[in-house]
Amino acid sequence: MAAAVAEYRREQSLPLPGSSAALYNNLSVLRLPGPQPQRFSAVHGPSLSLLSAAAAGLGLSHRQLPAREPGMGLSAALLTQAAWCVLPSRVLLVLTSQKGIQMYEADGSVLVYWHALDVAEHPPAQAVFARGIAAVGERFICVGTSSGPVLVFDIPPKGTNVTVSEVLEQHGAAVTDIAAEQGRAPDGAGDLVSADDAGTLCVWSAGEEFRLVSKVPACGCTCSSVALWHGTVAAGFGNGQIRLYEAASGRLRAQVNAHARWINALDLAPETGKLLSGAEDSFVHIWKLSRNPDTDDVEVSWVRRSCPKPPTRVLGAPPEREQQLGKGILPLCCALGGPESSSGAKGAMGNLERAWDKGWRDGIRGNGFQLR
């Protein structure tokens, strides 16, 4: 345990242009190999705050990407999520909103594809939106919808000829999150997992036709975030629990009373099996997933509470956690989808230490933590 503590360090903070909305999984990071700038994004109401940072935090550039609408919509669409989808042939920035799904080139410059949700066919009381974004396989991007279906988009290596190749109908409630394990999933374990408001989890095997591998029935508690690691599904729930399931069978293998309040985001470092959870209790915890070589049981252990340098007394704050200080663990959990994170003021606020987590996802190195 002690050794694990030294495995990451905090890097320089980066300011986002505005605060982040209280949504699930509201932070995405794109880290490409080579000298290309790192990109960060977080949703703020009807627009996406984009930040690109050259190496060593030099050369920051901000921009706001508005949620575009076909024609002139009647009301401004709120964004629900944004994520970079890395496929072998290309990288797309995918935005989901109340109106539909937008796919941009990675830098947000060119709109490649737009998919409108059919708002009229839903009863007026039902919220309509898309949410849950993941790239899977050689050429697919999957996006969830509020009525349950998961749309599978077939992405050409270049150009705008994106098509809906399949619609996966297994969820009976609004999809919350989708995660994939690119090129690492054990045979037969499935390489995509989708979760919904009622707590249903569906594990899929991607291909010409997607195949349902296993299904964990609804438990009545919202599953807000999922991750997939070596055939194990990690799911974060509204009751503060993290549960681990065997992807191939859907069997429950571990249950962690992890947080005192709603979990808003999970992230996973694929190389090390470290899992990060952020919740509305203001804490970020780090867990270590492993497999017992004798029994093949999945194991999970608590590594630490992510708080490299607890700055909770900044500005004379009381010893309790501050809801949204610019520095420290809170912006992290805010950007992970906790309550509104820090303001648009420059300087102390709006830091991007929150980018700690998703940098992990790409398995290279977090902007804040460095995994070795």
Partner 1 sequence: MSARTLPLLFLNLGGEMLYILDQRLRAQSIPGEKARKVMNDIITTMFNKKFMEELFKPQELYSKKALRTVYDRLAHASIMRLNQASMDKLYDLMTMAFKYQVLLCPRPRDILLVTFNHVDAIKDFIYDSPGIMNQVDETFRRLIDTYSCLSDGEFQLIRQTLLIFFQDMHIRVSIFLKDKVQNSNGRFVLPISGPVPWGTEVPGLIRIFNHDGDEVKRTEFTTPGNYVTPQREGSFGLYGDRVLKLGTNMYSVSRPVETHMSGSSKNLASHAKENIVPNPLAKEELNFLARLLGGLEIKNPSGSDTGFRLNLFTTDEEEEHAALTRPEELSYKVINIEATQVRTAHFRPLIPIARLAKKWVSPKVVT
Q: 171-210: which residues touch partner 1 (CB under 8 A)?
A: 173-174, 176, 196-198
Give the C-alpha separation, 18 to 342, whole Å: 8
Which segment (88-96, 119-127, 226-234, 268-276) binds partner 1 by CB under 8 A?
119-127
DSSP state string for 70-115: SS--SSPPPEEEEEEEE-SS-EEEEEEESSEEEEEETTS-SEEEEE
* Other Cβ atoms closer than 10 A to 294: 6
Q: Which of 258, 269, 275, 289 binds partner 1 (CB under 8 A)?
A: 258
- Contact (CB, 8 A) for 133 and 143: yes
Give the C-alpha separation, 31 to 84, whole Å: 10
Give the C-alpha separation, 137 to 151, whole Å: 15
Q: Which is nearer to partner 1, 181 or 322 (CB)?
A: 322
Q: Which is nearer to partner 1, 22 or 60 (CB)?
A: 22
| C-alpha of 128 from chain center | 20
Q: Which of 32, 86, 252, 371 binds partner 1 (CB under 8 A)?
A: 252
Residue 129 lies near partner 1 (rule: CB under 8 A)? yes
Q: Which is nearer to partner 1, 211 or 305 (CB)?
A: 305
Q: C-beta of 35: minimal distance to partner 1 in Å?
A: 32
Q: Which of 32, 60, 78, 87 binds partner 1 (CB under 8 A)?
A: 78
Q: Two tokens at 158?
A: 């270049």
Q: Two tokens at 281?
A: 């209790």
Q: List b or e across 346-364, with b for residues whose CB sees 16 or more CB atoms inside 10 angstroms.
A: eeebbbbbbbbbbbbbbeb
Give the C-alpha separation, 303 to 301, whole Å: 6
Q: Which is nearer to partner 1, 129 or 360 (CB)?
A: 129
Q: C-beta of 123: minimal distance to partner 1 in Å?
A: 8
Q: Which of 28, 37, 41, 44 binds partner 1 (CB under 8 A)?
A: 44
- Contact (CB, 8 A) for 124 and 174: no
- Contact (CB, 8 A) for 176 and 131: yes
Q: C-beta of 231: minimal distance to partner 1 in Å?
A: 13
Task: Give me the 351-370 binding string for partner 1, x by CB under 8 A, dash otherwise.
Answer: --------------------
Q: Which of 11, 177, 181, 280 binds partner 1 (CB under 8 A)?
A: 280
Applying CB under 8 A, the site for partner 1 has a residue count of: 74
Q: Which of 311, 323, 365, 370 binds partner 1 (CB under 8 A)?
A: 323
* Other Cβ atoms closer than 10 A to 71: 6
Which segment (51-59, 84-92, 311-319, 360-368) binds partner 1 by CB under 8 A?
311-319
Helix (H, G, I), strand (E, B) or coil at 46: coil
Q: Two tokens at 63?
A: 């921009």
Q: C-beta of 84: minimal distance to partner 1 in Å?
A: 22
Residues from 291 through 310 that contact partner 1 (CB under 8 A): 295, 297-302, 305
Are β-strands 60-66 and 79-86 bridged in parallel, bridged antiparallel, or unpaired? unpaired
Which segment (85-93, 177-185, 201-209, 337-345) binds partner 1 by CB under 8 A?
337-345
Residue 325 lies near partner 1 (rule: CB under 8 A)? yes
Residue 55 lies near partner 1 (rule: CB under 8 A)? no
